[in-house]
Amino acid sequence: MASLTGKVAWVTGAGSGIGQAAAIALAKEGAAVVLTGRRKEPLDATAATIKQAGGKAVVKPGDLMKASAVTRIAADIDKRFARCDILVNNAGLNILERSWKQLTPAGAEQVIDGNLSSAFYCSTAVLPMMRRKKGGVLIHTSSMAGRNPSLLSGAAYSAAKHGVVAMSHTINMEECVNGIRSTVVCPGEVATPILDKRPIPVTKEERARMAQSEDVGDLIRYIACLPAHIVINEVMINPTWNRGYVANLARTTKS
Ligand SMILES: NC(=O)c1ccc[n+]([C@@H]2O[C@H](COP(=O)([O-])OP(=O)(O)OC[C@H]3O[C@@H](n4cnc5c(N)ncnc54)[C@H](OP(=O)(O)O)[C@@H]3O)[C@@H](O)[C@H]2O)c1
């Protein structure tokens, strides 16, 4: 029997990139997966891939920046499954105009709501279901920019992702007595559609050297399958060819 048989996983941002890869990996492991994102079509495509492989998937579209949408989807999950064992709190976004010269209040609000408020809404929505079962795993996709502020990612994104790291640690501090575990995943560059919003375009060759969605999806699957008595509090995952390191080497060494 696969190790997540009988478990329910809610994956946000499941129509593309890391979320899609995580949903497919969790479904292969036997979990019934609930797929959320704003656009229905990519979620349907993820669900079709999972079902073709014999897995279980339910599509629940919604804008996670709206607390009411999050409450509605969580209530649907509770009604249908009466449990939520795994939350992959992964949806996130960035904007093109991210430098301080260009940043507007509306842009900052979008990035903070889309990466941090939404993550809080989803966490608060699943915790009651997890407390009831005396167990559960929350896996949040932060970023290396959530550890080291980065101009490449921008001020608002760096600040929001630092918030996600803090949020995850506080869940462990309070909910460990309820058997609930929280892991924050901090990826470096992953070749996903979010890179299309970079002010400096990323080439095909550069994307090929980056971590791939499946690498992070498999890490998320691994975390979800850990035994209930341990938690990986935080994990960083980066491409071996780390463009930040390579640029630094070029500045500090003579050829
Ligand atoms: N790729 C990287 O280099 C990298 C590095 C570090 C961290 N991350 C983080 O990894 C996570 C996944 O991103 P990705 O790289 O896989 O990029 P992606 O393919 O753009 O995935 C982001 C997903 O989030 C969904 N989403 C965005 N805003 C949403 C909202 N308000 N409500 C519901 N769904 C929303 C998007 O779908 P809709 O547009 O249909 O809503 C999309 O499927 C993000 O949190 C991102 O910040 C990425």
Domains annotated for the chain, with CATH where assigned, are 8-252 (3.40.50.720)
Residue nearest to atom 25 of ligand 1 (CA): 13
SS3 assignment, position 171: helix
Per-residue pLDDT of the chain (255 residues; tens, 9 = 90+): 679 999 999 999 999 999 999 999 999 999 999 999 999 999 999 999 999 999 999 999 999 999 999 999 999 999 999 999 999 999 999 999 999 999 999 999 999 999 999 999 999 999 999 999 999 999 999 999 999 999 999 999 999 999 999 999 999 999 999 999 999 999 999 999 999 999 999 999 999 999 999 999 999 999 999 999 999 999 999 999 999 999 999 999 876
SS3 assignment, position 4: coil
Two tokens, residue 55: 């897995």
Residue 75: Cβ within 10 Å count? 11
From the CA of 118, give the closest atom in ligand 1.
31
Residues annotated catalytic, as ranges = 157
The pLDDT value given to residue 255: 60
Ligand 1 near 123 CB (within 6 A): no
Query: Bridge partners of 202?
Result: none
Helical axes 17-28 vs 213-224, angle rounded to 10°:
50
How many secondary structure helices (H) and strands (E) does the chain include? 9, 7
How close are the terminal C-alpha atoms of the chain, in Å? 54
pTM for this prediction: 0.98
Query: Bridge partners of 136?
Result: 180
Ligand 1 near 13 CB (within 6 A): yes
Residue nearest to atom 39 of ligand 1 (CA): 38
Two tokens, residue 90: 């992964």
The pLDDT value given to residue 2: 78
1 CA → ligand 1 middle, Å = 31
The pLDDT value given to residue 1: 62
Ligand 1 near 63 CB (within 6 A): yes
Instruction: Please provide residue 145's backbone torsions phi and psi, each rounded to the nearest 5 degrees.
Output: -70, -10
Ligand 1 near 46 CB (within 6 A): no
SS3 assignment, position 39: coil
The pLDDT value given to residue 21: 98
